[in-house]
A = this chain, B = another copy of it.
Amino acid sequence: MDDLTEMLKGTLEGCVLEIIDGEETYGYAITRRLNELGFADVVEGTVYTILLRLERNGLVQVTKRASGVGPPRKFYALNDAGREQLARFWAKWQYVSSRIDKLKEGGG
Chain A positions within 8 Å of B, measured between CB atoms, are: 1-2, 4-11, 15, 18-19, 22, 33, 36-39, 88, 90-93, 95-97, 99-104, 106-108
Identify which of B1, B4, B5, B11 contacts A7 (C-beta below 8 A). Answer: B11
B96 contacts A36, C-beta separation under 8 Å: no
B15 contacts A103, C-beta separation under 8 Å: yes
Identify whether the interface residues of A are mostly helix, strand, loop, or mixed.
helix
> How many of these chains are in the complex?
2
Identify which of B6, B33, B93 contacts A9 (C-beta below 8 A). Answer: B6
Interfacial chain B residues near A104, Cβ < 8 Å: 18, 90, 93
Give CA–CA (A90, B1) in the complex, Å: 12
